[in-house]
Structure 1
Amino acid sequence: MIGGIKIVNQTEQLKNQVKELEEVLKKLDKQLFYLRNMQGITIRICKQKSGYQYYKTDDNGKRVYIKHKDKEIVRKAFQKSYYECVRKEILTQKYQIERFLKFYNPTAIEDVYDKLCDARKELVTPIICTDDDYIEKWRQTHPGEKNTFPIDGQFVTDNGEYVRSKSEKILADLFLKKDIPYIYEPEVELSNGHKACPDFLVLNKRTRKSYYWEHFGRVDAEEYAIRNFPKIYAYEKSGLIQGKNLIISMETEKQPLDLKLVNEKIEMYLM
């Protein structure tokens, strides 16, 4: 569907690239300062059967053969020339990115629809679906609460949902706090014909990519591990790969849910 297109705002990435180029530029200028005594030295190359011969031009314009023991002069001269060429390209790239950012409007295409009067909006299907419209369709496509195993109702999320564990409540509340759309216990069909209900389906609004999030609450308990670890294998066989479209969190009786690690995963995949 055309409306599912998402134009990603590249402003921060481009600004970060400018900063990276500036850091490389500082290092280059430092290296060029060390090679400043090579200023004005011109090296000529002559190809021979046995390899290459190098010459430099003296003050009278005469070519002087550079002996092998003095080859370090050639290396420094070539290195300096290379640094200067790279520096020129960095400055060009930096100028082009900065000029692009000056005129860049990541919402320009969406603005065309937003500026239409209400009468036109009722009859026009926008090429770019707004985040709210996309999320609504995403939720309709992936209905939640498909796990038929009863919930005892002990844990209630800030969004008013009943979940099965304290850690699931912590995760759901984190998603809500960080404005990450999520669906609790959606259904996914596995390659073996069976169906599973991962704990969450979460959405990166910026990229509009979905991830399943599965939490394993007692990986130190043998019976729990025997029952649940085959699920990871079934997920992989069905194309749900950790880091690609599956995120996993876990805990033990002595080591509770690591919130620092959870937040790192949220930043990495969902922001």
Structure 2
Amino acid sequence: MEKLHQLMTNAFSQNQNNIQKLQAQIADSLQGNLIIESNKSSLQFYCSIGSTCRRYLSKTKQHQEITQLLQKKYDEKCLKLLTQRQNAIAAFLKRDPHDTFDEIWNAFPTECQKKLIPFKEPTAHRLDLWKRKTFNQKPLVPGIKTFKTINGETVRSKSEKIIADLLYYYNVPYRYEMACTLNELGTIYPDFTIYDIRKNRLVYLEHFGMIDNPDYSQKMIIRYNDYVKSGFADRLIISMESSTQPLNVKALIPLIKPYSLTKADDIID
């Protein structure tokens, strides 16, 4: 599904929730409609029920009723706008083709694809290029204890193995300790670099495993601040643990699942 169609589908769902919320608020509000009239430098308020009957509302004695009817009037105008917008979104979704550029490309035989210049680079091709691209990786220190992941990498800690295996299980494209450049620290090696295929960008996953160690926590803060200064705040995932609090796997899963290559419906929770 193309990004625009997905955005509109999400907007339709969000709009529907807002419409139902406003409808419930209006249904629970006071009966009648608020009429606002300007009299020289002040406003006068009236409540009307039906087309003929209306009564004056005192600003002092009926302040609460004015406030509630005013909120109702505002909610009704918002509901009208949301309803119009919902109708427009529904019309778009009905007429918009569901085909994607990937589907058009994949419909051609491989022999034909070799002769074509794609309008939009196929997702599978982008992913394949990223997987095959060589990268600078932090070297392991001889003699230290290491752990083997399901995907065959050698990592430095049990928690990193758990994270790597989670990424592999959820079909998230990643690399272990691939070099990255920050503004102040220069070249660093994030624990995991994730390829966000949907937005064609890199996302960094850092596991801070000794946050109750004062020296370590200071370095962690410096590193985090440099990520933010370098413009990576919106593509940074952080997990952490201490000597008394282990890695929270359940909290990490929702953070990595959006980058899965597998359709959401196919992922087993």
Distance 1:36 1:237 in 2: 49
Alignment partner, residue 263 of structure 2:
none
By relative contact order (CA 8 Å, sep 6+), the higher-ranking structure is 1
CA 1:136–1:231: 2 relative to 1, 3 Å:
farther
Structure 2: segments with no counterpart, 5+ residues: 261-269
Distance 2:140 2:205 in 1: 19
Structure 1: segments with no counterpart, 5+ residues: 1-5
Structure 1 residue 115 and structure 2 residue 101: aligned?
A: no
Which amino acid counterpart does residue 123 of structure 1 have in structure 2?
Answer: K
Alpha-carbon deviation of 1:158?
A: 0.7
Structure 1 residue 8 and structure 2 residue 6: aligned?
A: no
SS at match of 1:207: coil
Structure 1 residue 262 and structure 2 residue 252: aligned?
A: yes
Q: Deviations over 1:206-232 (max 9, x none)?
A: 323311222222333456556x43761
TM-score calculated relative to the size of structure 1? 0.74
Alpha-carbon deviation of 1:259?
A: 0.8
SS at match of 2:37: strand
Does the Cα contact within 8 Å between 2:105 and 2:122 map onto a contact in 1? no
Alpha-carbon deviation of 1:198?
A: 1.7
Alignment partner, residue 241 of structure 2:
251
Alpha-carbon deviation of 1:180?
A: 0.7
Distance 1:60 1:216 in 2: 67
Does the Cα contact within 8 Å between 2:174 and 2:194 map onto a contact in 1? yes
Q: Deviations over 1:25-83 (max 9, x none)?
A: 33433444445742xx68362330x3234567899979986655467666565544433
SS at match of 2:3: coil
TM-score calculated relative to the size of structure 2? 0.74
Does the Cα contact within 8 Å between 2:173 and 2:195 map onto a contact in 1? yes
SS at match of 1:212: strand
Alignment partner, residue 177 of structure 2:
185
Alpha-carbon deviation of 1:9?
A: 6.1
Alpha-carbon deviation of 1:194?
A: 4.5
Identity among equivalent pairs (%): 26
Distance 1:42 1:256 in 2: 58
SS at match of 1:244: helix
Q: Deviations over 1:114-173 (max 9, x none)?
A: 333444311223132233221222345561534353475741111112111111111111
Alignment partner, residue 3 of structure 1:
none
> Which moved further from structure 2: 69-78 or 97-106?
69-78
Alignment partner, residue 96 of structure 1:
88
Alignment partner, residue 267 of structure 2:
none
Distance 2:48 2:192 in 1: 72
Which amino acid counterpart does residue 265 of structure 1 have in structure 2?
Answer: L
> Which moved further from structure 2: 167-176 or 197-206?
197-206
Alignment partner, residue 22 of structure 1:
16
Distance 1:16 1:63 in 2: 42
> CA RMSD for the aligned pairs?
3.8
Distance 2:184 2:49 in 1: 79
> Which moved further from structure 2: 81-90 or 249-258?
81-90
SS at match of 2:43: strand
Which amino acid counterpart does residue 8 of structure 1 have in structure 2?
Answer: K
Which amino acid counterpart does residue 16 of structure 2 have in structure 1?
Answer: E
Question: Map of 1:1-271 to 2, 5 A cutoff?
Answer: 7-8=2-3, 10-11=5-6, 14-34=8-28, 37-38=31-32, 43=35, 45-48=37-40, 50-54=41-45, 68=59, 69=61, 78-141=70-133, 143=135, 145-147=137-139, 149-150=141-142, 154-192=146-184, 194-222=186-214, 224-225=216-217, 228-229=219-220, 232=223, 235-236=226-227, 239=230, 241=232, 243-267=233-257, 270=259
Distance 1:217 1:204 in 2: 24
